[in-house]
Chain A
């Protein structure tokens, strides 16, 4: 399934190397996770946000995830759980957030890695497993 760069809105195909190395257009490592049936919505998503707003969103997301996370590693946001409509505007899908088995954020490392944020929060301290 595709991913969309939070900063510049570029869509990257499934298993694209950009998700690991950074966006091919702007180098950012923060992506929205896009379901196939949600592609049309994704294309509009960052349309009217300014560069400054996108930078702010990126900063806010890292703040929400926590300081312990390595910013050099790619982060993929799953829109099923949290939507960020702009800086300071959040929509939370509580049903998804409460479901422990539903991953909130996918974090990719070496191409085969997935983290549930809720679980991740608990495990901060013993660091993210390699």
Chain B
């Protein structure tokens, strides 16, 4: 019976066009590895990267969308639009960029764009169907940024998956991240080296209710 219903559903969705594409957003503080993860996903399933990454915070200052990403696992298929967002911060200071060798003018421009990026990222939140919060597993998870993002997702009833990135680094502490957000599933990965990425994909299926 269920199969019959499913084929009816498929038939009608093909007849009348597909429903709105699921938007999967990557959110988190700067330098957590959102774009590195977006690149890994795109490379794995589309064969091309999404954006540039660097060690300097606020590398991504605009919202980027990769449409029609289809991932497959154990015979299942999940298709979504991947939305990579600028890092959310409470303080953006050009002097921090100068410390890593940037010229003053460039640093100020970056600070301005990063501020606009935060506003844009927040603006986009309402359009998201599911969100992956990407945290740096080497950093203290109890920050205002993390708590505000996750609290707001909860308030808006948007399904959340927390990714603790950079688990390849010795300083990383998965348990601390898990302890900070006990009501969420936390997946430890290294987006850079692809470590545990299969578990991440599995969790995405679960998040999307498949």
Contacts and interface: CB of A to CB of B under 8 A. Distances in A.
A100 B123 CA distance: 9
A97 B108 CA distance: 22
A21 B144 CA distance: 39
Given A60-B112, A94-B88, A97-B119, A88 B152 contact: no
Contacts of A82: 115
B91 A90 contact: yes
Interface string A93-106: 11101101000100
A65 B95 CA distance: 23
Given A64-B119, A122-B123, A88 B90 contact: no
B156 to A, nearest CB: 9
Contact of B116 (A64, A94, A97, A118): A64
A63 interface: yes
B112 A88 contact: yes
Contacts, number: 64
A92 B93 contact: no
B207 to A, nearest CB: 21
A2 interface: no
Contact of B148 (A56, A64, A95, A117): A95
Contacts of B94: 87-89
Interface in B127-148: 144-145, 148
A87 B152 CA distance: 30
A94 B119 contact: no
B45 to A, nearest CB: 30
SS class, residues of chain A in contact with chain B? helix
Contacts of B112: 60, 63-64, 88, 90
A115 B83 CA distance: 27
Contact of B111 (A88, A94, A100, A104): A88
A2 to B, nearest CB: 25
Nearest to B125: A98
Contacts of A93: 90
A118 B148 contact: no
Contacts of A104: 119
A104 B90 CA distance: 15
Nearest to B115: A90
A100 B156 CA distance: 11
Given A88-B108, A118-B122, A118-B123, A94 B148 contact: yes
Contacts of A63: 112, 116
A63 B109 CA distance: 10
Given A82-B115, A88-B108, 7 more contacts: A56-B108, A64-B115, A87-B94, A88-B94, A90-B92, A98-B122, A117-B119
14 contacts: A56-B108, A60-B112, A88-B107, A88-B108, A89-B111, A90-B91, A90-B115, A91-B91, A92-B89, A94-B88, A95-B148, A97-B122, A100-B126, A121-B120
Interface of A: 56, 60, 63-64, 82, 87-95, 97-98, 100, 104, 117-118, 121-122
